[in-house]
Chain A
Amino acid sequence: MARPNKPSKTHSTDPQTLPKAPTGIQGLDEITGGGLPRGRPTLLCGSAGSGKTMLAAEFLVHGAEQYGEPGVFMMFEESADELAQNVRSLGVDLAKLQQQKKIAIDHVHIERNEIQETGEYDLEGLFIRLGHAIDTIGAKRVVLDTIEALFSGLPNHAILRAELRRLFRWLKDRGVTAVITGERGEQSLTRYGLEEYVADCVILLDHRIADQVSTRRLRVVKYRGTQHGTNEYPFLIGARGISVLPITSMRLEHTASTERVSTGIAGLDDMLGGKGLYRGSSTLVSGAPGTGKSSLGASFVDAACRRGERALLFAYEESSKQLLRNMGSIGLDLAQWERDGRLRIDASRPTLHGLEQHLVHMYDLVREVKPSVVVVDPISNLTMERDDRSLKPTLMRLIDYLKQHTITALFTSLTSDSAADVADSQVGVSSLMDTWILLSNLAGNGERTRTLQVLKSRGMPHSHQVREFVMDDKGVGLVDVYLSGDRVLTGTARVSQVAQEEAASDLRRRDHERRIKELANHRKAIDAQIQALNAQADERAGEVEFAIERERLNAESLTARARAIARSRDVPPPRPIAAPTAKPARRSAK
């Protein structure tokens, strides 16, 4: 089980520390605080297939290649050819190293049925061979793999034990740093009790199966005179040799970049203060099945590649080809990035390794690819076989590691489809994350829609709104959800609401037009009425004038008649009647 590590580098400040020979094996030097005890033998024990020979060979090869310490490999089981083949898989050319006199190989072969024993003898021949090999190349390191083979080859164990005791003392006297491998015994560390002779440093390798998943582990059982990590550390024999799970610093001292990188989704960048994520930050995308986690991860990768950066995608659900095809359906052509080497997809079944081995594998790949963006899809699958407790420290190591290298990371996490346990089901890792994006399904109106919200995002203003997450053949994007009253509308509801409101506004527009037209018509009608009234008035005026005229004519004629009568009667004429002169007021319509 992974557990918190204790800092193991405190010894380096101690001037009285034991001189050490670095192994050059990733992680092992951290655990042992610098390597194996220099000038002393170290016992490396473990069951068959636990990686003893590989570790010993790496110790030797790294010494020869990196630390200028030639080494002798004395084999009792494998032949020189077999060893050369084994290390060739790590990219080491043993023959070349032998030619350069950096490594000497001696294969000690004992055929039990060839040997008869009579009387006294000792193993001086072995000493001479070893001494000769050491002298020839000036070796500082020696590997004896597996010296226990002698026990089956030589019948007299009393002599053998005495000689082994002498051998280890002799190795110390020669001042070589020796690694002696031993097969794990039933009761003791080694089958023949080699630990009795090698008391300085004992490293135990273990190959354990838990839940049908095998994990290699390493433990420093004993390291006299120095502080060392005492935990069991998982390790992996990968393409670049052994990697022991590196100890991450428990102090949080990685630098924080202020540079922002796009998530590949414009709408999401907008939600995150308009600029996207901080470079080197870690993001958790959690959601139920089918909420678009992988698509979001793929967009993120696509954006990084588009910027010309390298990206690494760990896929634990889909094969590489399937992923490329599926992402092609939403308009993300990841294949082009994979072709030109910017994108590396590592697809494997989560059950392939134990959790820690996955982590070691990730470290290895990150070291190899040197990406600026890493996506793990999904982390929740890694815990399928395990309890969640071990995921947190493991992820913590990974996140620490990525942060130290300023790699922006995005992890997806599958949650159950119920909305109730949002916070519980994040495999307890959300507190490790800088940004947490929650994808959820909204069901209603006979359909599901995807929504996205930013639950947290450290160090930047971010939107608290729920957005609708849409995927089509042009990619993924965000749409503002429709707020209608106190209801959030998404999907068809949003579309129909928009249509409804559009229709309503159209209706209103028509209504307005109609009312304006009506008003104009009304005005026209009034005008017509006015005209008619004017005409009527004119008519009345004409009548009045006519009547007045007639009355005046009548009056005149009456006066004229009276005058004529008077003239005929010769009486003074009567006073004339005043004719009405006032004309009726006429409106000046028109």
Chain B
Amino acid sequence: MNARATTTRPTGRAAKTLDEDTPGVAEWQLRLYVAGQTAKSMAAFDNLKRVCEEHLAGRYTIEVIDLLVNPRLAAGDQILAVPTLVRKFPEPIRKIIGDLSNEERVLVGLDVQPLR
């Protein structure tokens, strides 16, 4: 669907990459679109990070894109709602909208097998 699916961009002021010691491409590439530092976006990021640490530790990258800073990027991933989490890789692309407060639904949305 999108040619840029696997390119990670150092964009967005909240961009943060976890697990820096993994060379090359991470197994799970996630991208979180937010609009400013709102309570919802902070909550979404915190919830996402917690889920990833718990189930995908060391195998993921999260790219946070603030659309207030880079409005152009909204069209690329067809973002309407914020916050939106996009699973860029593994394909197919999946999207989860909302503050990711329900861990179970996040896992289903990302299609991650819980480790527990």
**A residues with CB within 8 A of B:** 106, 108-110, 114-126, 128-129, 131-132, 150, 153-154
Q: Which of A121, A125, A153, A154 contacts B40 (CB 8 A)?
A: A121
Q: Report the minimal beta-carbon distance from B15 to chain A, rounded to whole angstroms.
A: 18
Closest B residue to A135 by beta carbon equals B71
Q: Report the minimal beta-carbon distance from A129 to chain B, rounded to whole angstroms.
A: 5
Which A residues lie within 8 Å of B75 (CB)? 106, 129
B89 within 8 A of A: no
Q: Is the CB–CB distance between A118 and B33 below 8 Å? A: no
Q: Is the CB–CB distance between B94 and A118 below 8 Å? A: no
Which B residues lie within 8 Å of A109 (CB)? 78
Q: Which of A106, A108, A116, A129 contacts B95 (CB 8 A)?
A: A116
**B74-113 interface (Cβ within 8 A of A):** 74-75, 78-84, 92-102, 105-106, 108-109
Known A128-B67, A128-B71, A129-B74; contact A114-B81, beta-carbon cutoff 8 A = no
Q: Is the CB–CB distance between A114 and B93 below 8 Å? A: yes
In this complex, the member of A114, A115, A116, A153 whose beta carbon has the largest number of chain B beta carbons within 10 angstroms is A116
Which A residues lie within 8 Å of B67 (CB)? 124-125, 128
Cα of A475 to Cα of B100 in the assembled complex, Å: 86
In this complex, the member of A108, A114, A122, A128 whose beta carbon has the largest number of chain B beta carbons within 10 angstroms is A128
Q: Is the CB–CB distance between A121 and B105 below 8 Å? A: no
Known A125-B80, A128-B67, A154-B81; contact A119-B74, beta-carbon cutoff 8 A = no
B25 within 8 A of A: no
B56 within 8 A of A: no
Known A121-B97, A125-B84; contact A132-B102, beta-carbon cutoff 8 A = no
Task: Give 29 CB contacts A-B under 8 Å.
Answer: A108-B78, A108-B80, A110-B80, A114-B95, A116-B105, A116-B108, A118-B99, A118-B105, A118-B109, A119-B98, A119-B99, A120-B40, A120-B101, A121-B40, A121-B84, A121-B97, A122-B40, A122-B81, A122-B82, A123-B80, A124-B81, A125-B81, A125-B84, A126-B81, A128-B71, A128-B82, A129-B71, A129-B79, A154-B81
Closest B residue to A131 by beta carbon equals B71
B72 within 8 A of A: yes
Cα of A74 to Cα of B96 in the assembled complex, Å: 23
Closest A residue to B68 by beta carbon equals A128
Which B residues lie within 8 Å of A125 (CB)? 33, 35, 67, 74, 79-82, 84
Known A120-B40, A121-B40, A125-B84; contact A115-B79, beta-carbon cutoff 8 A = no
Known: A121-B40, A125-B74, A126-B80. 14 other contacts (CB 8 A): A109-B78, A116-B96, A118-B98, A119-B44, A119-B47, A119-B99, A119-B101, A120-B99, A121-B81, A123-B80, A125-B81, A128-B35, A128-B68, A131-B71
Q: Which of B74, B92, B94, B95 contacts A128 (CB 8 A)?
A: B74
Closest A residue to B77 by beta carbon equals A125
Q: Report the minimal beta-carbon distance from B81 to chain A, rounded to whole angstroms.
A: 4
**B residues with CB within 8 A of A:** 33, 35, 40, 43-44, 47, 67-68, 71-72, 74-75, 78-84, 92-102, 105-106, 108-109
Cα of A115 to Cα of B102 in the assembled complex, Å: 15
Which A residues lie within 8 Å of B84 (CB)? 121, 125
Which A residues lie within 8 Å of B95 (CB)? 114-116
Interchain Cβ contacts within 8 Å, total number: 96
Cα of A182 to Cα of B41 in the assembled complex, Å: 32
Q: Report the minimal beta-carbon distance from B39 to chain A, rounded to whole angstroms.
A: 9
Cα of A590 to Cα of B79 in the assembled complex, Å: 141
Q: Which of A110, A116, A121, A132 contacts B71 (CB 8 A)?
A: A132
Q: Is the CB–CB distance between B74 and A132 below 8 Å? A: yes
Which A residues lie within 8 Å of B40 (CB)? 120-122
Which A residues lie within 8 Å of B81 (CB)? 121-126, 154
Which B residues lie within 8 Å of A132 (CB)? 71-72, 74
In this complex, the member of B84, B92, B93, B96 whose beta carbon has the largest number of chain A beta carbons within 10 angstroms is B96
Q: Is the CB–CB distance between B83 and A121 below 8 Å? A: yes
Cα of A131 to Cα of B106 in the assembled complex, Å: 30
Cα of A153 to Cα of B79 in the assembled complex, Å: 12
In this complex, the member of B43, B80, B93 whose beta carbon has the largest number of chain A beta carbons within 10 angstroms is B80
Which A residues lie within 8 Å of B109 (CB)? 116, 118
Which B residues lie within 8 Å of A106 (CB)? 75
Cα of A527 to Cα of B38 in the assembled complex, Å: 148
Cα of A446 to Cα of B44 in the assembled complex, Å: 99
Q: Is the CB–CB distance between B96 and A117 below 8 Å? A: yes
Known A121-B81, A121-B82, A125-B79; contact A115-B35, beta-carbon cutoff 8 A = no
Known A116-B109, A128-B71, A132-B71; contact A121-B98, beta-carbon cutoff 8 A = yes
Q: Report the minimal beta-carbon distance from B80 to chain A, rounded to whole angstroms.
A: 5
Q: Report the minimal beta-carbon distance from B86 to chain A, rounded to whole angstroms.
A: 9
Closest B residue to A154 by beta carbon equals B81
Q: Report the minimal beta-carbon distance from B37 to chain A, rounded to whole angstroms.
A: 13
Q: Is the CB–CB distance between A124 and B106 below 8 Å? A: no
Known A125-B80, A128-B35; contact A118-B93, beta-carbon cutoff 8 A = no
Q: Report the minimal beta-carbon distance from B101 to chain A, rounded to whole angstroms.
A: 4
Which A residues lie within 8 Å of B92 (CB)? 114
Which A residues lie within 8 Å of B96 (CB)? 115-118
Q: Is the CB–CB distance between B35 and A124 below 8 Å? A: yes
Which B residues lie within 8 Å of A131 (CB)? 71
Cα of A110 to Cα of B92 in the assembled complex, Å: 15
Closest A residue to B104 by beta carbon equals A118
Which B residues lie within 8 Å of A110 (CB)? 78, 80
Task: Pick the 9 closest A-B CB pairs, nearest first.
Answer: A116-B109, A132-B71, A119-B98, A119-B99, A119-B101, A125-B79, A124-B35, A118-B105, A118-B102
Q: Is the CB–CB distance between B74 and A120 below 8 Å? A: no
Q: Is the CB–CB distance between A116 and B94 below 8 Å? A: yes
Q: Is the CB–CB distance between A115 and B97 below 8 Å? A: yes
Cα of A389 to Cα of B98 in the assembled complex, Å: 60
Q: Is the CB–CB distance between A120 and B80 below 8 Å? A: no
Q: Report the minimal beta-carbon distance from A448 to chain B, rounded to whole angstroms.
A: 74
Which A residues lie within 8 Å of B80 (CB)? 108, 110, 123, 125-126, 129, 150, 153-154
Q: Which of A108, A117, A128, A129 contacts B97 (CB 8 A)?
A: A117
In this complex, the member of A106, A120, A131 whose beta carbon has the largest number of chain B beta carbons within 10 angstroms is A120
Which B residues lie within 8 Å of A118 (CB)? 96-102, 105-106, 109
Which B residues lie within 8 Å of A115 (CB)? 95-97
Q: Report the minimal beta-carbon distance from B103 to chain A, rounded to whole angstroms.
A: 9
Cα of A418 to Cα of B4 in the assembled complex, Å: 79
